[in-house]
Amino acid sequence: EAAIRYGTMAKMNPPLREEEDRLAIIQGLADGTIDIIATDHAPHTTEEKARPVTQAPSGIIGLETALPLAITGLVNEGYLTLSRLLRLMSTNPANLYHLDAGYLAENGPADLVLIDTAAEVIPGNYASKASNTPLTGWSLKGKVVKTMASGKVVYSSEEVL
């Protein structure tokens, strides 16, 4: 259904699956079988995605939509707590790769993302140079307000620094 509705904007590897598969992934996230959420940010040009479905490359952008989509579809639907989601997207990946990240502590790395979980986000005005995603125009919750790396603001919803 998604492939018909969104065409090449929904073409990705692995491909979108059936509802029972989506629910099984959610169950795995909820029960700890799956312990990380990550994106494979795969930008493609408008020209590439305009090709016939058999010739268009697979992949969608995900960096700007992952958190609002997860807040909307997992937290706000009651599948995960916000705390669990944030562990899945920060602490757990940092631990897997032995990174000094994913936590708050005095003299820590000071990498932070400030989120307004109630704010509406409508994907469409992307900071990425690509816009290949079926999520354009969706109403999602969870606006990234600021991002800090090593204690410095590197993104603000008002401007990209």
- Catalytic site residues? 40
Tell me the one-letter amino acid at 31: D
- What lies within 8 Å, CB to CB, of 76 at 6+ separation is 141
CA 126 centroid distance within chain: 13
Is 12:2 a contact under the CB 8 Å cutoff? no
What region, left, alpha or beta, does residue 52 occupy, with left being phi > 0 and alpha being psi -120 to 50 degrees?
beta
